[in-house]
Amino acid sequence: MGNSNNEVMEVLERYSQEINNEIEKVLSTIEPVSLKKASIHLTKAGGKMLRPALTVLVSEAVGGDKKDAIKSAAAIELIHTFSLIHDDIMDQDDMRRGMPSVHKLWGEPVAILAGDTLFSKAFELVINTKVDGTSLGNESFERINQTLATVADACVKICEGQAFDMGFEGNFDVKEDEYIDMIFKKTAALIAAATEAGAIMGGADEKIVSAMYDYGKLIGLAFQIQDDYLDVVSDEKSLGKPVGSDITEGKMTLLVVKSLAEANDKDKKRLIEILKFSDTSPENVSEAIDIFEKYGSIKYAYDVAMGNVENAKQLLEILDDSEAKQALSLIADFVVKRQN
């Protein structure tokens, strides 16, 4: 493909207007004004809209009408935004999407309420999907119930994933399967919910719904592992933050977990020292990257991400050929081709 990344951005752009309209509508009634502004702030900050676009694309790919999936897609984006607001409070991150984070502008109490409001509005959106029989037919209530269950499950997993992630700080005995389970819950579960919700709202049978959930899970895992990988191989301009910032922050990433599992005692001790040190110099970051290189951890992370993407694309074979199916395949590739 010429530039498949551009094609993906066009696909995401194609749906973003309708999804944003739904979000604006559902958030327009919030009071008082400070809470409304805090709730809307990140939805205006121009995220990629990957998750909601996946919901709509999957609904089209399984033969459904995108109208039926738009509200669920907007709900997924609100859940994502709620988790970002609360994450920024927990991590004390002052910037998000190139703008001051919600708690920085409105204070922590209002930011907590803004996250809670978005969480609640997400469920309101799914419930308000048209169910008068003109849009979804008789199974409409069943589809909405299933979608609500999917979204609720993802919300629990996001909280579990965040708790595991915080528990991993300073714990250098984390095993690879524990790490994968954490990123599944923290990142991939909502992407899996996005694709599963699209399949449910599109009226797919159980087998296809299950395949679309797995497709979302795999590209979600690849997405997070690619983040780990880009942190050490990208450049600051593309990344939008200093290279090696995961190392500086002492984060457990797949590269760290793999290196600690493989390294000799001397290298393991040195890597832990660097990760523990709160004021890591560029030299130390380079040294940590050298240790990753020595044990093949950078290539390993890339290969794991690529393997997940290939498996995700295999799952799309269950679908009839369509433009939406082609777009889902491009998005799977985009997850490991992006530079930020």
Rg (CA), the chain: 20
Q: Is there a contact between 218 and 77 (Cβ–Cβ < 8 Å)?
A: no
Distances from the Cα of 282 to the Cα of 232, 247, 253, 287, angstroms: 12, 10, 18, 9
Is 3.40.50.2020 the CATH number for 4-326?
A: no
Domains in the chain: boundaries:
4-326
Question: pTM higher than 0.75, yes or no?
Answer: yes
Could you report the per-residue pLDDT of 231-281, keeping only the tens digit for each?
Answer: 999 887 777 778 898 999 899 999 999 999 999 999 999 999 999 987 778
Confidence bin at 1 (pLDDT 50/70/90): very low
Angle at 18 between CA 17 and CA 23, to 5 degrees: 95
Provide the greatest CA pair distance for the chain.
68
Confidence bin at 319 (pLDDT 50/70/90): very high
Q: How far apart are CA 229 and CA 221, in angstroms?
A: 12
Could you report the per-residue pLDDT of 42-101, keeping only the tens digit for each?
Answer: 998 877 899 999 999 999 999 999 999 999 999 999 999 999 999 999 989 899 888 999
Spatial CB neighbours of 177, under 8 Å, sequence gap ≥ 6: none
Q: How far apart are CA 321 and CA 61, in angstroms?
A: 8
**Helix (H, G, I), strand (E, B), or coil: what is residue 321?**
coil
